[in-house]
Structure 1
Amino acid sequence: MALFAPLADGSSMPNIYAYRLAPSAIDRVVELLEDNQIAIGWSELDEQTALSSSSTKDEIRQKLTALYPQLAAQKRITHGTNQVWRFTQELRVGDIVIVPHLGKAHFLRVTGTPIYLRHKVKDDTAIRRDICKLQTIAISDLPNAIRQGLVFRGHASVTLEHIKDDVLDFLGLDPEILAEEEEAARAEKLMNEAMGSYVIPAKDEIIVTRKHAHVSEALIRHLQAKGLKVVNTRTGGLAPDLCTVCATDPMLFEIKTGYGSGDYLKALGQLLFYEKLRGRTYRKLLVAPTGIRQLAISILADFNIGIIEYTETDGSFSFSWQ
């Protein structure tokens, strides 16, 4: 599983927000982050209205007006409506939330859809979302653009789209790799829906040699030495062994530890299948030990499958592109 959960709605880039986590003007940062959650407040709002994807802004506004007449008199209902809408409707799984608190900035990634905890209504933290923690950094150590973005008053949250590139760069998130991870996740979801569930009967224990993993690790180093961006998108066993991220010449790699007919026939099907599933054109490459016959190589070439042969010497691998 990738460290950064892919987005859930088809967009390849996360949105960036800053949140205070102080519902009813009470600091709840520590307790919420201990629960690996964030909350928005406005907990008197009923669960159905708060969580339903069919709720409209006008419905939320009307409910909040009835539930919080004192805030309506202070003309704060529009603010509350916008905050609830952002938290429940706009904030997506995969988005990044930054919480400034006591001189530190907590970088979080949203991992769950909105939930409603009835026993937290009194604390005004009933409307929540699950998160995972990425980093906690002293605000003084942040780049100037991010520090400035975290200066906001009078709002429970703000969007930081204007410094998205700064945040992704600071966190070391490559937008192309994020997009590649998301694409693999969509492919896995599609396959799971198409295939359904099945049972694999128990088998006797066997010892598995990690030759495939050793070849994969060596190939990654080989490709990176060529200046290529490499991702391992083998999510759920439903994606190629390796991909390179490149706008003009993306590549798919299928690694085999043998060179028999079963190996290259299986690789042929996998590479063609994955390319079709992803809906884009790739340079497709079979990575196998030296020994594939020339006839097989020429037939694979007719399917636009290239060959990378590898040899192993004392645990080290060398690769030859055919």
Structure 2
Amino acid sequence: MQAFVLRIAPSEIDRVPEALENNQLIIGWADAEGLLDDQLDWAAFRQVVRDSYYRDDKTLHRAGAAAGHMWRFIREMARGDLVVVPYGSNFYVAEVAGDAIYLPEKSSEDSAYRRPVNWLNAKQPIPRAYAKSALISRMKVQGTSASATDLLDEIRECLEVASSGATPSFHSDFQSSLVERALNELRHGRIDSFGFENLIKNLFRSLGAKEARVVPRNQDKGADVVATFLVAETFPLIVAVQAKHWQPEPPVDRHVIDQLVSGMEAEAADLGMVITTGTYSDDASRAAKEYLENAGMKIELVDGEQFAKMIIEHGIGES
């Protein structure tokens, strides 16, 4: 069994209620007809998407990203797989029930590509608070879709708690209380911006970073913390972080994303993160998505609640 995350908002229009009513998943790029042809290899598949939407682009960044989402939806999803659909402060889970289809009558609404599903948990939403930090992060994916097979156990656990109708356990109540207290301390406790940067550095070390350092202010090129993780204990993956020790208002805005991109370039980073004790504006989320689609730069946005949950789940390392 595989698992995926899918945003159902083709052309930035919310189609989740329609998807629930019709027992379907819905994705955009409807003008790229012919993608159901299983004779298309990856290059030909991507070319259809490029010819339909990105013909004038000088690079394949946007065409490749869009084709990747469509390939995942059409070719990789299979009967029995689980699909998590984020929706505000909640999420839904569906089980794939059949192959992808194309409905020409829905092309003008950019919702022609669909998949039949069985919605689990009686089509009822599941609060994001039930999810662990890794699943919350995956549901914040900047693009339309992402693989989540590594989080199958967490998805099943959320389903079990939600579908049982049971009241939250002592463990979940206790953890929620700890998260709330940690978030309150992050926002109002005895920690300043320097302490917040060091807290991020120590958390990364707890998460397995081989190296993590706070960038001195006089050397700051847009990244406050830089960490290096080793993939397969061999290949370095560099993470650059903008740290914002802010209150919920005002939310982190687009200019912070632009600052981070400058830091990513200076540090030759593979992944960017903005970590805040506050929240994010819609413009910041759009900026992260645009950098991914236009330049292939992956940026994660971690808000205060998610960061507090990460601390509770993984600790804060050495003080």
- Interval containing the TM-score (normalised by the shorter chain): 0.3 to 0.5
Q: Structure 1 or 2: larger helix share?
A: 2
TM-score using structure 1 length: 0.46
Q: Based on CA coordinates, which of the two structures has the bigger radius of gyration?
A: 1
TM-score (norm 2): 0.46
